[in-house]
Amino acid sequence: MILKRLWILNFIFIPTVLVVWRKISDTNSRPVILTKNGLVRGLKSPNGDYDMFLGIPYGKVRQENPFGIADPYPKYEGIFDAVDDNNPCPQYDEGFNFFAGTLDCLRLHIYTPKKSEKLAVMVYIHGGAFRYGHSGSCNGEKDYDPVYLIRHNIIFVSLTYRLGVYGYMCLGTKEIPGNTAMKDQLLALRWIKSNIEAFGGDPDRITIFGHSSGSISVDFQVHYQHDNLFQQAILQSGTITNMHSFGEANTSLPFIMAENLGFKTRDLDAAIRFLSKQDPLNVIKAITQPALPILIFQPCIEKIFYGVEHFITKKPSELVPKVKNRKFLIGNTNDEYSIVIGNNPDEYFDDDHTIRKYLNYSFNFNEEELKGAVHKLKQFYIGNGEFSRKYRRQMTDLFSDMVHIYPTYKQLNIYHKNEATKVYYYLFTYSGGRNMYRQRNNLTLDTAIHADELGYLFQDLHVKSSSLEDQLMIDRMTTLWTNFAKYGDPVPSTSEILPTQWVPISDDSKAYFRIDKTTKMDTEFLAKNEFWEEFYRQYSKNFKY
């Protein structure tokens, strides 16, 4: 009987102890970091080459006012398990047609190579037209896996911030002055500056970078900075001089949204109280119905209130960038606007309606002035003909130059004028198998459209290519970007991958570094930039922002 009981104890107790021991052993083998908020436990990468800390909270959205400024995240209770990067902010993803997100979304994802020395840090701010986007996983999507960058021994950080109505509602009130998303980013950058050393990062070698509206965000952070939270910046296809980078305060939006959700009122506080209690995804769904007009949420000028941190208080053209003792890498793809109009029918190009509309975003024209401006553009891009589908290629170039390429050129000159240490200018023209947004839009173009370069910086689940040329471009792009982060120079010395010295702009030369199957310093696009420089000079009195 005693032997039988001992056998039963052995059968039950010993395996249980082994299972518990294995769990403890597995837990203890995971990386643990002591931050100023407490202990954070991460994961090892599948190949063991780096550690991942996913979904670290840096801020807390106020439940009573989810449209206003967030609070710093409080101390963790026990060990925070940083294992989940699926925490997007509320949004409608226009690229893949789904709704997702929660307001418990102010999170960071940190990837750290296994190195003993302090490493340069790269902080990525995702784009998405200020309305959508995510830095981790979302609905089975992961656009910004940094495995290619981590190989170069840098620490990579990406951040999630509020978007659309929750990030850019601009009412000009003390409670919701505007630019909440920018303040989320600022809160994240402060957390990174205070804590990154614990992860092996050098707090004095932080480079922030972003693409599209993420790049515009980077530019606004450059203009705002008082805290020396970063030393360098990379701006990819977006600056505050872009025509879609800025808007006006609009107090009518809460009434429209509340009415869409069944609550009609003309009391602003009542509308905000009602919206604050709604499920965030229901709010997003209510303002993205196809039958409704598109509601625009963008950065805006804030009123200054005592005791409230403000971010933007002047028009972009009146802001002075804080660029002294800082280095910048900035540029575009060569066919930016095909991402928007590449699949449009030929009829879209048969008149000047859209050109007039776009000019009115940035300029206050009367009809006669608008007619003269359109004629000037027509003469430069197509000569004596009339706008029509026959000139589809030239009109696409016009939109690319107007919306993206010239604004970038304008801003890099402003940086240089305000004594940035160095400004490196690039143009990405490579057409390969990982041009991710050309693939997503099913475009058969021998060009690089908006966001195509991202496929050579990040591993994307939807883009699979094994060509030797594409692998060379991955190696080239990631080496350029990480060299800049580590050394402040994308080509500190030439090599087989980087055979061309990258010369920063100067008073005498605005040549750019052309990134393609081969690399070279080039000036081919500068004639168009000089045309737009003269265009803006001629109509400077009409310029809105």
Tokens for 30, please give them: 């995971």
| Residue appearing with tokens 């939270």 | 229
d(CA 52, CA 379): 54
Q: List the one residue out of 197, 88, 73, 64 whose CA is nearest residue 142.
A: 88
d(CA 422, CA 324): 9
Supply the DSSP string of 272-303, one letter for each residue: HHHHHHS-HHHHHHHH--TTSPPPP---BPPP
Q: Is there a contact between 281 and 303 (Cβ–Cβ < 8 Å)?
A: no
Element containing residue 188 per DSSP (H, E) = helix 180-195
DSSP state for residue 69 in the 8-state scheme: P
Region of 333 please: left (phi>0), alpha (psi -120 to 50) or beta: beta
d(CA 466, CA 483): 24
3-state secondary structure of 397: helix
Active-site residue 212, yes or no?
yes
3-state secondary structure of 492: coil
Answer positive or negative: Cα dihedral of 253, 254, 257, 263: negative
CA distances from 145 to 110, 137, 311, 333 (A): 11, 9, 30, 21
d(CA 191, CA 189): 5
| Residues facing residue 443 across a β-bridge | none
Radius of gyration of the chain (CA): 25
**Terminal CA-to-CA distance of the chain, rounded, Å?**
90
Q: Which of 137, 158, 212, 213 is catalytic?
A: 212
| Residue appearing with tokens 């069944």 | 262
Sheet with 201-211, edge to edge strand ranges: 43-44, 50-57, 107-113, 155-159, 119-125, 201-211, 232-236, 327-333, 422-428, 512-515, 519-522
Region of 69 please: left (phi>0), alpha (psi -120 to 50) or beta: beta
Q: Is there a contact between 222 and 322 (Cβ–Cβ < 8 Å)?
A: yes
User: Active-site residues: which are they?
Assistant: 212
